Amino acid sequence: MTRHYFGTDGVRGTVGREPMTADFAIRLASAAAQTLVPAGGTVLIGKDTRLSGYMFEAALEAGFVAAGADVLLLGPLPTPGIAHLTQVFDADLGVVISASHNPYFDNGIKFFDGKGSKLTDEVERAIEARLGEPAITRESQSLGKAKRIDTARTRYQDFCAATFPDDLTLEGLKVVFDGANGAGYKVGPRMLSNLGAEVIPIGCSPNGRNINDGCGSTNPGLLANTVPAVGADVGIALDGDGDRLVMVDETGTLLDGDQLLYILATERKSSGRLNGPVVGTVMSNLGLEHAFKQQGIDFRRAKVGDRYVLETLKSEGGTIGGETSGHMIVLDQTTTGDGLVCALQVLAVLKRTGETLSKLASGMTKYPQTMLNVQVAEKMDPDDSPAIQSAVREAQAELADGGRIVLRASGTEPVIRVMVEGRDPDLVGRLAERLADVVAQAAA
């Protein structure tokens, strides 16, 4: 059975349209409770700063309590913080209300199991199998209880800080922090400041509607301008729920997830702390693969989605991996992608080596890459279209061995992503436009 509601990162959509309604949230909570939470079990619920988070928090609380689960409400907290606290509180399930990097009028719901890991496809299918049933309400003596946890932020903040080496501090480092007006807006600046950094916060004034709006990892222009303007050493940008990270070097140049992965992997290689292969995705830049080859670092590609990076890391015995978008995973520090934890690992390299961020990233040359999103009315697999596949073969022949083409359906949006990369930027751009036109015609 295929998943109808769950994508690569939980359930997501526009608020007020199925499935992002209060009624669906109640049914989803009931289905998840019956699938994963034993009688008297505990569920943690956290959220980002979207206005609709209040509604979904209340609906999920009702669904879980009615099904007999106790609920702990954490309030605004980065997604990885909820994964961590699910373990701290020995809960059976962690729930995140967030649409990550999407605008405020979208929202989503995703889950962590009791070990702080994302649910498998099989478990998500089991939850979906119950969604056609009405939400259950147990008798009064079997209902759950709910209470708010006021220490959630400081607990997570202390956890993040503990991943920074004891023999280092951030003293003397000037950092611009962009919280995307999202879940990390408070914990990020306070943690960095406690470690000794001079922090200049931007994107840290959420109002319920400005999450990811002109700020954060998907809109880093303000950060790139601010860092050199104030003479900062580095800039850090999270997305709305705090599991993505991009950084800006001292010149204002953006470093994406591939470049940050390169910095972490090469430092670990040189210090003898790199275990297993480094894992990227099919979208990781070809320049990263070539740079790792020159360094003698084993590199593997997983499907798009940090959950698949994580699965490959575990199966191959690796500890670090990530996506170009900035979903970074450092398994010897945490169980899931964590923007703040990964930022601290990069800052530790910066402090230990004494190098600038631009110098640390200079060993990797990014190949020109064009990504186009083609809107589709209904979900489709580009591999099923003979016309698309013929166009892909022709384009790949023009690139020869000097480039790659990837077409994939987004797991979070109704789009087909067309990615072309290679040494010649003009050729890359032309081929991407040509393929996007073919995809649009096939989807019409």
Per-residue HEC secondary structure of 328-352 comes to: EEECCCCCCCCHHHHHHHHHHHHHH
Beta bridge partners of 75: 46
Rounded Cα gap, residues 160 and 90, in angstroms? 19
Catalytic hit among 30, 52, 100, 284: 100
Query: b vs e for 162-180, b when ≥16 Cβ sit within 10 Å of the residue's Cβ?
Result: ebbeeeeebeebbbbbbbb
Rounded Cα gap, residues 360 and 64, in angstroms? 47
H or E segment at 217? none
Q: Which amino acid is at 430?
A: R
Active site residue 100: yes
Rounded Cα gap, residues 357 and 135, in angstroms? 52
Q: What is the DSSP string of 18-60?
A: TTSSHHHHHHHHHHHHHHH--TT-EEEEEE-S-TTHHHHHHHH
How many CB atoms neighbour CB 123 within 10 A?
16
Classify 274 as helix, strand or coil: coil
Q: Which amino acid is at 371?
A: M
Beta bridge partners of 202: 178
Distances (CA, A) of 80 to 83, 147, 289, 341, 385: 5, 21, 27, 9, 38
**Tokens standing for residue 313:** 């890391």
**Tokens standing for residue 247:** 């950084």
Q: 201, 196, 186: which is closest to 242 by C-alpha?
A: 186
Strands of 278-281's sheet in order across: 299-302, 278-281, 320-322, 328-330
Which of the residues are catalytic?
Answer: 100
